[in-house]
């Protein structure tokens, strides 16, 4: 929770997301995806804004296929907010920061 | 009070900001997303003069932003909620705060994030569950699946061709009697055995349990409906300017702002630049040119106040 998104893979998903304490925001992205590049700085800002409260991780779906398919990710960018191993909120496509922040605040 | 508030941080807005800042005016730029606007999501920009090897879209966006910031432009990542352009002092409300300015330059583009929705039943429900607006992003999720592409322009052909590398079958569904795509692209699509075509046909409904399973299509001549199995549906019916919140400005029937060659709109002190205005060529270089003209004309307007 240092205020920076942490890059993780399928192998770390259980430990870093499902078994983590507190809310975790997962950004499913890929290098080939333009809108993902637009979301990336917003996700970084969210990590900073919610430092200590929400852990922010990124999963590259190009290299990791298990976790995106487990959560039926069929469109990127997709952001999923997890808490206690449960997916609480799924946000598909580019959304402005305020809208994402409001969704996260609702689960704090 | 700002001299200039610029809405939109794409090439038009950032160039306007750079001109305004360099002329030592107090400039505020508001952008809800990433700097660079639509080019931030373009993989590669190959035709911006001076970058002879081409440049990544997102990187060009960052460079444009740094260039404007070098001249003291204040840039905020905020989404504009309301705007009042009528008086001599323009009011902009963004994230609940009010900002005042003597001039406003609108450079909000045709947001890549705002692809035109089809408006068919179930579209929103299945967004991210099979309905997509970006084949480049999502094609790999549809390996060996059946997909439809809705649209008939260049982008629809490009999306279908890209999808044909992954999907089992790609059906292009288009309302018109013929495609608007450039002949070369169309020929390429026609030569691809995985791609099938349905003209004068419209998608009426998206259906499935959790994920998209089929689309209901209607033959527009006979009005007969039939189901088409599809795990993916890529909507490519164009992009629109997001100008509904700009009241009192003269726009064309699609919502593009009408300006003269000085980028002046129908309201004094309000200028428009880039893709958001009615024009014939929407490229980075023409957006930048619009931005330079809009800022220069805004400065002339300020000098007369």
Name the domain boundary from B206, B235, B264: B235
Name the domain boundary from B218, B235, B252: B235
Q: In this predicted model, what pLDDT tens digit does every residue of A62-80 receive, in sequence order?
A: 999 999 999 999 999 999 9
- Please indicate whether residue A45 is annotated as part of the active site: no
Same domain, B26 and B161: no
Say if residue B69 is exposed, middle or buried (CB neighbours under 10 Å; 0-12, 13-18, 19+). Answer: middle
Domain assignment present for residue A24? The answer is yes
User: What value does the CA radius of gyration of chain A take, rounded to a whole number of Å?
Assistant: 12
Same domain, B84 and B181: no
Give the pLDDT score at B93: 94
- Of the residues A8, A17, A36, A57, only one is catalytic, namely A36
Report for A97-106, B105-114, B168-177: range of highest mean pLDDT:
B168-177
Q: What percent of chain B has pLDDT over 70?
A: 97
Give the mean pLDDT of B29-40. Answer: 85
In the structure, what pLDDT confidence band is assigned to residue B240 with cuts at 50, 70 and 90? confident
Contact A97 B34 (CB under 8 A): no
Has residue B71 got a pLDDT over 90? yes
Q: What CATH number did the domain enclosing B11 receive?
A: 3.50.50.60
Average pLDDT, chain A: 92
Instruction: Count up the domains in chain A and report the number.
Output: 1
Which domain covers residue B73, as residue numbers? Answer: 2-112+239-304
Out of B33, B78, B142, name the one closest to residue A38 (CB): B33
Which domain covers residue A36, as residue numbers? Answer: 6-102
Coil, strand, or helix at residue B1? coil
Give the pLDDT score at B14: 97
Q: In this predicted model, what pLDDT tens digit does every residue of B77-131 receive, in sequence order?
A: 888 889 999 999 999 999 889 999 999 999 999 865 456 678 899 998 998 999 9
Q: Chain B residues with CB inside 8 Å of A96's CB?
A: 32-33, 79
In the structure, what pLDDT confidence band is assigned to residue B43 with cuts at 50, 70 and 90? low
Has residue B147 got a pLDDT over 90? yes
Helical ranges in A34-86 per DSSP H: 34-49, 66-70
CA of A33 to nearest chain B CA: how many angstroms apart? 5
Give the mean pLDDT of A11-38. Answer: 92
Out of B40, B95, B210, name the one closest to residue A38 (CB): B40
Domain assignment present for residue A108? The answer is no
Q: In this predicted model, what pLDDT tens digit does every residue of B284-296 receive, in sequence order?
A: 999 999 999 999 9
Domain assignment present for residue B15? The answer is yes
Has residue A2 got a pLDDT over 90? no
Instruction: Count up the domains in chain B and report the number.
Output: 2
Give the pLDDT score at B113: 46
Q: In this predicted model, what pLDDT tens digit does every residue of B191-231 receive, in sequence order?
A: 999 999 999 999 999 999 999 999 999 999 999 999 999 99
Task: Report d(CA B276, CA A80) in Å as an integer.
Answer: 32
Q: Chain A residues with CB inside 8 Å of B40's CB?
A: 34, 37-38
Has residue B136 got a pLDDT over 60? yes
Same domain, B244 and B158: no
C-alpha distance across the termini of chain B, in Å: 14
Domain assignment present for residue B203? The answer is yes
- A93-99 contact pairs (CB < 8 A, 24+): A93/A35, A93/B113, A93/B127, A93/B128, A93/B133, A94/A35, A94/A38, A94/A39, A94/B33, A94/B112, A94/B113, A95/A39, A96/A42, A96/B32, A96/B33, A96/B79, A97/A42, A97/A45, A97/A46, A97/B32, A97/B77, A98/B78, A98/B79, A98/B95
Name the domain boundary from B182, B205, B235: B235
- Of the residues B3, B46, B134, B154, only one is catalytic, namely B134
Same domain, B84 and B96: yes
Give the pLDDT score at A50: 95
Domain assignment present for residue B123? The answer is no
Same domain, B14 and B67: yes
Has residue B238 got a pLDDT over 80? no
């Amino acid at each position: 929770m240092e205020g920076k998104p942490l890059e993780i893979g399928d192998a770390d998903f259980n430990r870093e997301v499902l078994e983590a304490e507190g809310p975790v925001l997962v950004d499913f992205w890929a290098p080939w995806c333009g809108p993902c590049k637009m979301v990336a700085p917003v996700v970084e800002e969210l990590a900073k804004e919610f430092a200590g409260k929400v852990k922010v991780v990124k999963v590259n779906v190009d290299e990791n296929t298990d976790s995106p398919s487990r959560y039926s990710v069929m469109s990127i960018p997709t952001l999923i907010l997890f808490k206690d191993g449960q997916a609480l909120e799924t946000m598909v496509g580019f959304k402005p920061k305020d809208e994402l922040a409001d969704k996260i605040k609702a689960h704090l | 009070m700002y001299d200039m508030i610029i809405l939109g941080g794409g090439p038009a807005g950032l160039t306007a900001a750079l001109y305004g800042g360099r002329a030592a005016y107090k400039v505020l730029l508001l952008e809800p997303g990433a700097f660079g606007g639509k080019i931030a999501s373009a993989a590669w920009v190959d035709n911006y003069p001076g970058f002879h090897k081409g440049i990544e879209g997102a990187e060009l966006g960052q460079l444009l932003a740094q260039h404007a910031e070098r001249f003291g432009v204040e840039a905020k990542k905020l989404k504009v909620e309301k705007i009042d352009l009528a008086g001599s002092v323009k009011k902009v409300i963004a994230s609940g705060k009010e900002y005042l300015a003597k001039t406003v330059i609108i450079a909000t583009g045709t947001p890549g994030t705002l692809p035109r929705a089809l408006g068919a039943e179930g579209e929103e429900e299945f967004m991210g569950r099979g309905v997509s607006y970006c084949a480049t992003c999502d094609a790999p999720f549809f390996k060996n699946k059946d997909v439809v592409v809705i649209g008939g322009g260049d982008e629809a052909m490009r999306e279908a061709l890209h999808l044909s590398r992954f999907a089992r079958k790609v059906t292009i569904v288009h309302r018109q009697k013929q495609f608007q795509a450039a002949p070369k692209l169309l020929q390429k699509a026609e030569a691809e055995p995985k791609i099938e075509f349905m003209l004068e046909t419209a998608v009426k409904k998206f259906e499935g349990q959790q994920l998209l399973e089929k689309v209901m299509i209607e033959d527009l001549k006979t009005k007969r409906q039939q189901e088409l199995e599809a795990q993916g549906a890529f909507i490519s019916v164009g992009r629109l300017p997001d100008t509904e919140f700009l009241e009192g400005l003269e726009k064309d029937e699609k919502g593009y702002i009408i300006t003269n060659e000085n980028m002046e709109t129908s309201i004094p002190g309000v200028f428009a630049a880039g893709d958001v205005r009615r024009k014939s060529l929407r490229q980075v270089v023409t957006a930048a040119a619009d931005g330079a003209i809009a800022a220069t004309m805004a400065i002339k307007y300020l000098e007369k106040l």
